[in-house]
Structure 1
């Protein structure tokens, strides 16, 4: 290379992360992915189909803040670790896409943590108060009981809360699914760059 000092190696085009950084990146990504898959596709359905609705709602109210905060922290740390070792001026198209995927995951996680997830839990708690006053909430199953449907038809306040719940739960679920998709793409990127298992 013209102008280089004999015997001196040229700098690599990418900052090679240490094994510790690689391990941390893998731990944060796999923790987030595993937690999301378990909560979304296993624990939610099992608890929802086996527990009384108010018990299930109480467990979600207590656990989801941890779920959302841990997911947000993992997403932020993954973005930070990846960006630190892939300077913007040296990014390939694939690496730039990976940065965007991490950024989307951070954004969706924060929206869920700060707004949609919290609003959903608060609305469910308000609905449970009204249901308890009518002797409801001990039904088992994911689907709304006939008694709750009748309450929605006869009680305007409960009907309004039910509409808000549908909106915020949908937004929260979309953010959650977005994070799952982003982490899935990140895992695919990671697997594609493994030299060996």
Structure 2
């Protein structure tokens, strides 16, 4: 086995990604962040305040699997592209933080995709079945009606579903907010490195 050639650099280098890779990285990051802001801050509030509760719940159950899978794919691709061009041996403290931010975003996205989001949707579907059997669910807006509160007090099964929904919806929302924060930090990291607009 031959040793290294004299004068040859054996230390890995931090190579400059091509413009195509930079474009892909920015595209995945901005797509994910823009989608998260739209769904969380605009579409959710508008639909929730204008549609009957069951219609709103049905739309969310249909859209959220796509939302979570696209977010997970973008987070994974962002982490992969960044890691490919930043060898661990050469990471600065700032780049190490950026890798951690991408990893946290992947983890939170996958949790929502594989667990919290799906469980929340299943619970909502079960709640809607019980509500429909009592003639409820066509109220417009996110505020829980007096009839739903009475149903919760009189039906232990529905009450249990409401408690489970509150737990899993909170966990899913926290993961979603975590992803928004991570993507926002990543966009800030990229913006500080722009030489020109």
Q: Secondary structure at the match of 1:62?
A: helix
1:150 paired with 2:150, answer yes
TM-score, length-scaled by structure 1: 0.94
Post-superposition offset of 1:4: 4.7
Q: Which residue of 2 aligns with 1:64?
A: 64
How many aligned residue pairs are there? 192
The runs of 5 or more residues in structure 1 that have no matched partner are 6-10
Q: Which residue of 1 aligns with 2:44?
A: 44
Q: Which residue of 1 aligns with 2:3?
A: none
Post-superposition offset of 1:12: 8.7
RMSD of the alignment, in Å? 1.6
Q: Which residue of 2 aligns with 1:109?
A: 109
Q: Which residue of 1 aligns with 2:137?
A: 137
Q: Which residue of 2 aligns with 1:170?
A: 170
Aligned equivalents of 1:84, 1:193: Cα separation in 2: 18
TM-score, length-scaled by structure 2: 0.94
Aligned equivalents of 1:138, 1:78: Cα separation in 2: 41
Q: How does 1:1-197 map to 2 (within 5 A)?
A: 4=7, 13-197=13-197
Deviation per residue, 1:13-34 (Å, 9 max, x gap) = 4111000000000000000000
Deviation per residue, 1:30-59 (Å, 9 max, x gap) = 000000000000000000000000000000
Aligned equivalents of 2:22, 2:99: Cα separation in 1: 16
- 8 Å CA contact 2:123–2:161 kept in 1: the answer is yes
Q: Secondary structure at the match of 1:195?
A: coil
Aligned equivalents of 2:190, 2:63: Cα separation in 1: 29
* Superposed structure 1 runs of 4+ greater than 4 Å apart: none
Deviation per residue, 1:154-189 (Å, 9 max, x gap) = 000000000000000000000000000000000000
Aligned equivalents of 2:124, 2:95: Cα separation in 1: 41
The runs of 5 or more residues in structure 2 that have no matched partner are 1-5
